[in-house]
Structure 1
Amino acid sequence: MTVSHSLQGTSFLITIDNPPVNVISAEVRRGLMAALDAAEAAGVARIVLTGAGRAFVAGADAREFDAAPVPPHLPEVLARVERLPAIAAINGAALGGGLEIALACRMRIAAPGATLGLPEVTLGVVPGAGGTQRLPRLIGIERAVGLIAEGRVVKADEALSLGIVDAVEADPLAAALAIPQDRLEATPSLRDRPVPVPAPEAVTAAQAMAAKRMVGQVAPPEAIALVEAAAELPLDAGLARERETFLRLRSGEQAAALRHVFFAERAATGRAPKGAEAREIDTAIVVGGGTMGAAIAYALAGIGIKVTLIEQDEAGAERARANVARLYADAVRRGRMTQAEADTRLAERLTFRAGYDDLPPADVAIEAAFESMEVKRAIFAALDKGLPATTILATNTSYLDVNAIFEGVSHPGRLIGLHFFAPAHVMKLLEIVRAETTSDATLATAFRLAARLRKIPVEAGVCDGFIGNRILTRYRQTTDLMLLEGAMPAQVDAALEGWGMAMGPYAVQDLSGLDIAYANRQREGLRDRPGIRYVPIADRLVEELKRLGRKTGAGWYDYPEGGSRQPSAVVEALVAGEATARRDWTPEEIAECAVLSMIEEGFHILDEGIARRPADIDLVLVHGYGFPRWRGGPMHHADRLGLPAALDRIRELAAQDPLSWRVPPLLDRLVSEGRTLASLN
């Protein structure tokens, strides 16, 4: 039974019990209606609504969004709750429809660990059961509009300061039952409260925020308009407009894409091999204390793992300590921990040392050194010699052949790739690279570690660049070819950023450093590789002009006095001199061609077994490379385009440029079988 009820004196307790997080399904809505029938028949003095387990209600069941709405609808349920003397005892997460249930009650009492919010815009919709109309009546438009437009979730103490809840109590159910009856009866429902005062400045600020942080997304502006309308419309009119907007957006492409990513994320941590026992990681060694290694060590220490960070010499160890200390200082500055907490963690959880003599036993050792096969193989030879056979050995390589790195290392079942993304303590993606010899137990342990780090793990096979960097390489090659055909770097970046990418490819290269991509091209030998169209522009920027990006104040762009990027006349002259054609590219053509190259490479990666499912590719591109979440990732986007249309366009491009485009056999097969990529998930 998803909803239970019981009579406690003159109080009627309704408990929502739909594990694991009490989402609002059609069955829950029917159960609530039945419970309200029973409460009204009993003539009780008060109703207390709460959740079983650790959640109050964590929102609607998003799995129902792809089908027609099934009655009873949540607005109908809440219209009944609103007429009754109801109190919400918020024992845990009250999100989306969960908070809307609480807003329909006269009073709200939250547990200290509860979280509250209306995050619907993050799923491409707006609140659909009164959130945009009732919350402004409770806390005012000025406070409500930012919360709803950002989909921000707040903790109980902040909810109390905002006025969302009436109290924070260790036992919200007991507190709700103890509220004096005269106080409850004197508290009006939100329906009976005054219309909120307009707040045009807050609305304008929310619109500006959405335009800056949520480029291309349709739900935030719609949500802002609904909150603004709460000051103008009677409640029933506002609720009707909100519901119409919710249903319209729910059936849209953005909502479908965001749901796809949401469910892919939820499934990701459950992809570990079935039946394999994961070990718990308590101790770790990190080799390399540069930006990446320091951040990995900091992240591991953050979940209670004791870390030894190894550098080549004492000077390197001191630099590593300084790098980690800067991360703690930044956390203190941002209010994420106190100075005392930072000092304690740095002292108790991290050790810095030089060399490989007398290594302490460790559950895992992660190499985060320079991207050189020779360097990495030497490190693993030393780790193999100095650590127990039970230590998992992991490389953080971005491109190199994991099997070759580990060649000759003993006990090969313990070997694995853990490709963190910079900054490693912030980025949520972790590519888990399965070597030829990786055991299921090692793989399961890597997934367990990812879950503890709150990262999204994606398993990848061994190839140059794995999933993400292989697609990135292809994407950059495609945009570089546009430069040979008349486009300029700023034009390409503007088109792709306008399409929704977080940054264009040339702005990204300037941020990471042109020497990084240059070194990889030299390793691949692209200049002399047969069967490809080599574009010399990027190499000339490094070799002849010594432009390495932001760190030198000049890369694809100029950065005068360290400021924002500006198109460079020097670079544009170089590009124009190398161009072999003078095509007038439109933003739409640039975006289409660049994204199709990602899609094509994704099909090859799937066909080769490098990625196990299309959704994994989508997670990598969304979380690691700035692909717009609201487009769902390149493989989901291919399904939205229609695979027959994608196949026809790639065939056209392959006919025009057979050195750069190949029709993927998997795409051909799926089209001939009338199937979608989603069928492979």
Structure 2
Amino acid sequence: MTAEYKVHGSVAVITLANPPVNGLGLSTRQGVVDGLTRANDDAAVTSIVITGAGGAFSGGADIKEFGTDKSLQEPNLHSVISAVENSPKPVVAAIHSVCMGGGLELALGCHYRIAAPGCSVALPEVKLGILPGAGGTQRLPRVVGVEAALNMIVSGEPVKSELIGSMPGQKLFDKMAASPEALAAEALAFAQSVADVRPLPLVRNLPCKHPQGDAYFQFARNMVKGMSKNFPAPAKCVDAVEAATRRKFADGLLFERELFINLMWTPESRSLRHLFLAERAASKIPDVPSDTPKRDIQAVAVIGAGTMGGGIAMNFLNAGIPVKMLEMKQEALDRGIATIKKNYEAQVKKGKLKADKYEQRMALLTTTLNYADLKDADLVIEAVFEELGVKEAVFKQLDAVMKPGAILASNTSTLDVNKIAHFTQRPQDVVGLHFFSPANVMKLLEVVRGDATAKDVLATVMATAKKIKKTAVVSGVCDGFIGNR
């Protein structure tokens, strides 16, 4: 079982335990139902808490089961939520860290919800070309309002629990815990306090209306049509939420399920699901386990202030990581800084970046003409002219000044990383990090593994790529790019 059952006094606690994000696979779903049965059969238990182990409440459906028969086997998620709703003893969801997709739908089926601050809450199914299929489109509008729910469902973007908790009239959270550390104790106390409350509150019984329904949903359709182009799921999300306001709850659930099944078979959804799984497969390196120790990347240096160097620097500035940029001449540095400023100012003008964020990012950028000033960087990336002699001069200088344990990376697109590594006395610390132009926009990052590249270097650059929002794919030293091989 990937769900644990323990009794604390008069409260039974069911803990989802399916790492890394407590996906609601068949075994976990069965564990929840079995735990509910045990708790309701035990006269000493008066209330029940459902929570998640580790770094998540639940990230939703188990991606290993996605699109297989296992995802439909009983108890499916609908059956689990029904068992929670029909529990004669109150069920409290203790939410923390990550509560997304089916995890949020499970929480919405509980009688009460207590949340830790800092929890990311989302229904991200639209990003897979589908919509929430276990009541999300019918329950979420009842607890946060039609407009807030539709925004969350159509965008799929996470919202922090404390923001939701501060919304006037929200009924998603009955209580906010003082801190993530206090959640467990506060959930137990809350469960004890509602043990005798009857009738038990159900989200399905809450009203769901919009005061200007016709006009609002027409406006929403027009907005979604303009933004979603050829993707069918966002428009169907609008249909499903509208159904929550116009139909009986049970009829709305059936309509949601019909839309969900139809979207599952669209080529768009199949493609998006393939991409989702492929990106995750690409992030795993067979001989580098997930628990490989990682080096700490607190400061980055970039060699070269040209188009690539400036774009590479922006990725780290965007992530709040200080960057020191080196050039041979002050004029080259000035040109590079001017280009970075121009790029940020364009974002500010379009409303994509706030002026204070622009100032914060620029404050993280410093420049130098001297290699010795780079000595404290944890990661240095060279982005200089594509000529082996030039690379040799750069890496010999870096080898002389960089601290032990610093990662030395080359943005080379065609040159041999093994040759570059052997310009140094530390080939284990050398790796290729090939950004695609424009480097501050393109998501792909080609990680070139040399013959001597250390495993902890690989683990570190893969984690760093995630931090700067790149899709990293590992390549050996070979001809061609990841994009065209």
Per the shorter chain, which TM-score range? 0.7 to 0.9
Secondary structure of the corresponding residue to residue 66 of structure 1: coil
Decide whether aligned partners of structure 1 residues 166 and 358 sit closer, same or farther in structure 2, where only a CA change above 3 A counts: closer
> In the alignment, is the contact (CA less than 8 A) between 1:380 and 1:409 conserved in 2?
yes
CA distance in 2, matches of 1:393, 1:292: 17
Q: Using the TM superposition, give the Cα deviation of residue 102 of structure 1 relative to its aligned residue in structure 2, in angstroms.
A: 1.3
Q: Is 1:217–2:225 an aligned residue pair? A: no
CA distance in 1, matches of 2:366, 2:373: 14
Q: Using the TM superposition, give the Cα deviation of residue 36 of structure 1 relative to its aligned residue in structure 2, in angstroms.
A: 2.0
Q: Using the TM superposition, give the Cα deviation of residue 226 of structure 1 relative to its aligned residue in structure 2, in angstroms.
A: 1.3
CA distance in 2, matches of 1:391, 1:90: 39
Secondary structure of the corresponding residue to residue 24 of structure 2: coil
Q: Which residue of 1 aligns with 2:444?
A: 429
Secondary structure of the corresponding residue to residue 38 of structure 2: helix
Q: Using the TM superposition, give the Cα deviation of residue 111 of structure 1 relative to its aligned residue in structure 2, in angstroms.
A: 0.5
Q: Which residue of 2 aligns with 1:175?
A: 186
Matches within 5 A, 1:7-18: 7-18=7-18
Query: In structure 2, which of residues 242, 262, 274 is the aligned counterpart of residue 228 of structure 1?
Result: 242
Amino acid at match of 2:369: A
Query: In structure 1, which of residues 95, 98, 103 is the aligned counterpart of residue 103 of structure 2?
Result: 98
> In the alignment, is the contact (CA less than 8 A) between 2:46 and 2:195 conserved in 1?
no
Amino acid at match of 2:235: P
Matches within 5 A, 1:300-319: 300=316, 307-319=323-335
Q: Using the TM superposition, give the Cα deviation of residue 181 of structure 1 relative to its aligned residue in structure 2, in angstroms.
A: 3.3
Q: Is 1:80–2:91 an aligned residue pair? A: no
Amino acid at match of 1:144: A
State the TM-score, normalizing by the size of structure 2.
0.81
Secondary structure of the corresponding residue to residue 173 of structure 2: coil
> In the alignment, is the contact (CA less than 8 A) between 1:401 and 1:463 conserved in 2?
no
Q: Which residue of 2 aligns with 1:597?
A: none
Matches within 5 A, 1:261-660: 261-271=275-285, 273-274=287-288, 279-300=295-316, 307-324=323-340, 339=356, 342-343=359-360, 350-354=365-369, 356=371, 360=375, 362-369=377-384, 379-380=394-395, 383=398, 392-397=407-412, 399-402=413-416, 406=420, 409-411=423-425, 414-425=429-440, 427-434=442-449, 443-462=458-477, 465-468=480-483, 471=484, 605=485
Q: Is 1:51–2:52 an aligned residue pair? A: yes
Q: Using the TM superposition, give the Cα deviation of residue 266 of structure 1 relative to its aligned residue in structure 2, in angstroms.
A: 2.2
> In the alignment, is the contact (CA less than 8 A) between 1:283 and 1:306 conserved in 2?
yes
Decide whether aligned partners of structure 1 residues 404 and 97 sit closer, same or farther in structure 2, where only a CA change above 3 A counts: closer
Larger Rg: 1
Decide whether aligned partners of structure 1 residues 390 and 24 sit closer, same or farther in structure 2, where only a CA change above 3 A counts: closer
Secondary structure of the corresponding residue to residue 66 of structure 2: helix
Secondary structure of the corresponding residue to residue 98 of structure 1: helix
Q: Structure 2, unaligned stretches of length 5 or more?
A: none
More helix, by proportion:
1
> In the alignment, is the contact (CA less than 8 A) between 1:297 and 1:307 conserved in 2?
yes
CA distance in 2, matches of 1:237, 1:168: 32
Query: In structure 2, which of residues 127, 146, 151 is the aligned counterpart of residue 146 of structure 1?
Result: 151
Decide whether aligned partners of structure 1 residues 420 and 81 sit closer, same or farther in structure 2, where only a CA change above 3 A counts: same
Q: Structure 1, unaligned stretches of length 5 or more?
A: 472-604, 606-681
> What's the CA shift string for 1:50-108, capped at 9, x where partnerless?
22222111101132233221001211221232234332211221111111111112332
Query: In structure 1, which of residues 141, 146, 166 is the aligned counterpart of residue 174 of structure 2?
Result: 166
Amino acid at match of 1:83: N
> What's the CA shift string for 1:488-510, capped at 9, x where partnerless?
xxxxxxxxxxxxxxxxxxxxxxx
Decide whether aligned partners of structure 1 residues 240 and 319 sit closer, same or farther in structure 2, where only a CA change above 3 A counts: same
State the TM-score, normalizing by the size of structure 1.
0.60
> In the alignment, is the contact (CA less than 8 A) between 2:145 and 2:208 conserved in 1?
no
Decide whether aligned partners of structure 1 residues 83 and 466 sit closer, same or farther in structure 2, where only a CA change above 3 A counts: same
Q: Number of aligned residue pairs: give it.
A: 467
Q: Using the TM superposition, give the Cα deviation of residue 421 of structure 1 relative to its aligned residue in structure 2, in angstroms.
A: 3.3
Decide whether aligned partners of structure 1 residues 341 and 123 sit closer, same or farther in structure 2, where only a CA change above 3 A counts: closer
CA distance in 1, matches of 2:357, 2:224: 37
Amino acid at match of 2:92: I
> In the alignment, is the contact (CA less than 8 A) between 2:308 and 2:439 conserved in 1?
yes
Secondary structure of the corresponding residue to residue 55 of structure 1: coil
Q: Using the TM superposition, give the Cα deviation of residue 195 of structure 1 relative to its aligned residue in structure 2, in angstroms.
A: 4.0
